[in-house]
């Protein structure tokens, strides 16, 4: 099954909403960008304001056109730095390799579609799989950490960054296929 990245559309939002069933999922996905309970109005306002905020939102779709994932980059005012985030895979499609492909392709799209020189992100310290994935792509931990609240517990958020020249995608875009 093929996997493609396209810009997020209004019609994707009800599907996306269904992938964020709890307040913990909301924070894991988007930090403090939205408030709980998440609803279509918040998502629609965010999508509408994306161009003026310098944000690009992508939906990953399977070969049959069904959305399977979501990711985003927001660029700094001077256009040199991008912040990668909002990584989300449909809960019933997890652990099949979609997340890995989504991260690879959306970071690559972030570099390609904007003029940024550096991509940054924040990842929870306990999320070892994602930290390793970002490291494989060329991200390094900057040494900066933030303490954040997640489910009443303090969790460390680790800053990582990747200069354009250090980005190492796993595969050429065209060749990547996944089995459902």
Ligand X SMILES: CC(C)(COP(=O)(O)OP(=O)(O)OC[C@H]1O[C@@H](n2cnc3c(N)ncnc32)[C@H](O)[C@@H]1OP(=O)(O)O)[C@@H](O)C(=O)NCCC(=O)NCCS
60 interacts with ligand X by CB under 6 A:
no
Stretch touching ligand X by CB under 6 A, among 53-61, 122-130, 138-146, 149-157: 122-130
127 interacts with ligand X by CB under 6 A:
yes
Stretch touching ligand X by CB under 6 A, among 40-48, 81-89, 141-149, 163-171: 81-89
Radius of gyration for the chain, computed over Cα atoms and rounded to the nearest angstrom: 16
Q: Tell me which long-range contacts 142-149 makes (C-beta under 8 A, separation of at least 24).
A: 146/122, 148/27, 148/31
**Minimum CB–partner distance for residue 27 and ligand X (Å):** 9
- Give the β-pairing of 67-75 and 81-89: antiparallel
**Minimum CB–partner distance for residue 165 and ligand X (Å):** 23
At residue 22's C-alpha, the angle toward residues 21 and 25, to 5°, is: 95
The interface mask with ligand X, positions 14-53, x = CB under 6 A, is --------------xx------------------------
Q: Please, which of residues 83-112 interact with ligand X by CB under 6 A?
A: 87-89, 94-100
Using the minimum distance from each CB to ligand X, give the nearer residue, 30 or 114. 30
**Minimum CB–partner distance for residue 92 and ligand X (Å):** 11
- Which of 166, 158, 71, 159 has its CA nearest to residue 117? 166
**CA–CA distances in Å: residue 119 to residues 5, 53, 167:** 18, 17, 9
Question: How many residues contact ligand X, by CB under 6 A?
Answer: 17
**Minimum CB–partner distance for residue 113 and ligand X (Å):** 21
Residues that bind ligand X (CB under 6 A): 28-29, 87-89, 94-100, 123, 127, 129-130, 133
């Amino acid at each position: 099954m093929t996997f493609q990245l396209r810009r997020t559309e209004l019609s994707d939002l009800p599907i996306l909403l269904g992938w964020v069933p709890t307040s913990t999922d909301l924070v894991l996905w988007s930090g403090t960008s939205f408030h709980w309970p998440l609803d279509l109005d918040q998502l629609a306002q965010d999508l509408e304001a994306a161009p003026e905020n310098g944000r690009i939102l992508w939906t990953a779709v399977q070969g049959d056109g069904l959305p399977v994932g979501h990711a985003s980059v927001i660029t700094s005012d001077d256009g040199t730095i991008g912040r990668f985030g909002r990584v989300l895979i449909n809960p019933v499609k997890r652990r099949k390799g979609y997340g890995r492909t989504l991260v690879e392709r959306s970071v690559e799209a972030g570099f390609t579609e904007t003029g940024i020189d550096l991509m940054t992100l924040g990842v929870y310290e306990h999320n070892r799989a994602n930290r390793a994935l970002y490291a494989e792509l060329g991200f390094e931990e900057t040494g900066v950490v933030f303490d954040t609240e997640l489910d009443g517990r303090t969790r460390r958020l680790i800053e990582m960054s990747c200069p354009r020249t250090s980005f190492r995608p796993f595969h050429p875009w065209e060749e990547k296929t996944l089995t459902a």
